[in-house]
Amino acid sequence: MTKIDSQLWRIPNLMEGFYMAQVYEFIIENIQEGILLPNTYLPPYRELAQLNGINRNTILRVFNKLQEQGWVIAQPGKGIFVSPTYPGHDPLHPASAAIDRLPVRLRSPTPLTQDPEKPKQNFTTIGFDIPSPYYFPVSLYYKYMRYHTKRYQNVKQIQQVIDAQGLDFKDAILTHFNVMRGFNLHPQSLEVIMGRRESLDALLHVLIEPGDIAISTAPQDLILQEALDKSGAETIALSTVDPTFMDQLSDLLQHKKIKVLHVRPQCGYPENNHLSPEICRQLISLAKEHQFYLLEEDEYHEFWYKPQPYIPLVRYNHKGHVIYLGVLSLLTPYMQNTRVIAAAAEFIALLKKVPMEPFRYRNIIEEKVITDILRSGELWKYAKKARMAKEIHRYEISMEMQNYLHGIAEIYTPDSGLNLWLEFGHAESLLGYMQAIENQGIEIPYPPGSQMPGPGVINIRLGYGTWDVKEAEEPAKLIKEKFNSRGN
């Protein structure tokens, strides 16, 4: 009996009910990626089944299917082998072997220079502000994905064109927002655009003419600032954290004609603060009086921790002055990229005239899966489960930070979102604390692209989308020890 390579042939993340599909996809992927080369011997089906703890008849059915489709061949008395003429393989031009050295020398690229005009953030981000993949509705996805993948084996091209229009997807989103979130929208008042950057560019293209004045309440939001700059707007920064925010806005409106005010009422950036219903009503009243638009952005509607639901501006009596831009859900990457725009029907009609490139990463099958999930009502169940877990984590991380960092940093625990806000006050102190942690061999989970500690960086935006109490406790202890050793 040939010894089976358990490291190669142990199939990860097997799920009951999907064994055959997963084994089938595993073997094809390994063939296509060159891990299983033509004429490679496959383990006997009994041994492969035993290694993975599944029924041997399942493996036998997979082998038969692969043989029928030309992926493998059976040699009597010898076994199953990868076919030298498997689908898509060109035996005359096989894939190159691994190559270490370049045949033509290339210069070492110089570091990209940072735009000196680019705004700098006064905080560093640690951890992630989106839910852990643990909360991804895996079983639900597999259930619907399997159905739609199989359906597409015989689908007509005209049906693919219809699916690509996304009308079914948009209709399911409309129903979800109306039924589950109380929006009461008409179909003509809703649009879906893939990508936050793409959405902001399109919305501001409609709202702004070069020279118009826009107020940003999130000047450290680099994507928003880039979109405002691209639109040609003259941008004025105000902070909703400032207790005099409404007074400043009222004074500004007395001598400036503004076109749009961007705001995140439920979960401001970067501090995750929220606006009271009274402030929301005042904003809408000012928008009506001074004839400007409120561009409301909403990303954390699933992670609001107070008993009473938060009412977004678009659900107030705004008479068309609110343009809503919200994420569909934070539970899956594709839904995070799906941006929902709700506005007056006339605005949506103008938005549809904006020339936009098709979303390059669009996945029609995944949209079909999300459509089914939305219509089943099960997304709300998964979102509730994630919110309840994050509420516990929010309490735990807040207690940990209060326990170790009280007197060292100001700690703010917001009522929304997936971040704590820590104010240290001095960039040198914060940099020293982070260096002390790293000197102990502890890796700090800075997300890619984060502003690193250094001059002007005095705050931490501490994400708990993925949360491990031990991972946070040890660094917090070290900060406290360093603080005490300095005699502060």
The pLDDT tens digits for 171-203 are: 999 999 999 999 999 999 999 999 999 999 999
Report CA-CA distances (Å) from 192 to 185, 262, 371.
Answer: 13, 19, 13
> Which residue shows structure tokens 């625990």?
413
Task: Say if residue 131's pLDDT is above 90.
Answer: yes
Own/partner pairs, 219-223, CB within 8 angstroms, 24+ separation: 219/119, 220/119, 220/121, 220/122, 220/123, 220/269, 220/270, 221/269, 221/270, 222/118, 222/119, 222/121, 223/196, 223/197
CA 454/CA 182 separation, integer angstroms: 45
Q: How many residues does the chain have?
A: 488
Q: How far apart are CA 34 and CA 12, in angstroms?
A: 18
Q: What percentage of the chain reaches a pLDDT higher than 90?
A: 71
pLDDT of residue 119 exceeding 60, the answer is no
- Report the distance separating Cα 145 and Cα 243, nearest Å: 49
Query: What pTM, to 2 d.p., does this model score?
Result: 0.77
* Separation of alpha carbons 320 and 464, rounded Å: 36
In the chain, how many H helices and how many E strands? 17, 14
What's the pLDDT score for residue 360? Answer: 64
Q: Where are the domains of the chain?
A: 9-82, 123-132+381-485, 138-376
Which candidate, 301, 239, 246, places its Cα nearest to that of 271?
A: 239
Omega before 270 cis (within 30°)? yes
CATH topology for the 9-82 domain: Arc Repressor Mutant, subunit A (1.10.10)
DSSP states of 353-415: TS--PPPTT--HHHHHHHHHHHHHTHHHHHHHHHHHHHHHHHHHHHHHHHHHHBTTBEEE--S
Confidence of residue 349 (pLDDT cuts 50, 70, 90): very high
Q: Which fold has domain 138-376?
A: Aspartate Aminotransferase; domain 2 (3.40.640)
Interatomic CA distance for residues 45 and 99, integer angstroms = 34
Give the integer Cα–Cα distance in Å for 73 and 171: 46
pLDDT at residue 94 greater than cutoff 80: no
At residue 1, the pLDDT reads 43
Q: Which of 388, 457, 391, 458 is nearest to 418 (CA)?
A: 391
Top mean-pLDDT range of 43-52, 87-96, 414-423, 460-469: 414-423
- Residue 466 burial (CB < 10 Å; 0-12/13-18/19+)? middle
The whole-number pLDDT of residue 93 equals 53
Contacts 24+ apart (CB under 8 A), 377-383: 377/180, 378/137, 378/140, 379/137, 379/176, 379/329, 379/331, 380/180, 382/135, 382/137, 382/140, 382/331, 383/302, 383/329, 383/331
Within a 10 A sphere around the Cβ of 100, how many other Cβ atoms? 4
Higher pLDDT, residue 344 or 119: 344
pLDDT digits (tens, 9 = 90+) for 353-375: 998 776 566 889 999 999 999 99
- Could you tell me which CATH number the domain at 123-132+381-485 has? 3.90.1150.10
Strand spans (E) along 147-247: 190-194, 213-216, 234-237
Alpha-helical segments (H) within 33-113 = 45-52, 56-68
Does pLDDT of 381 surpass 80?
yes
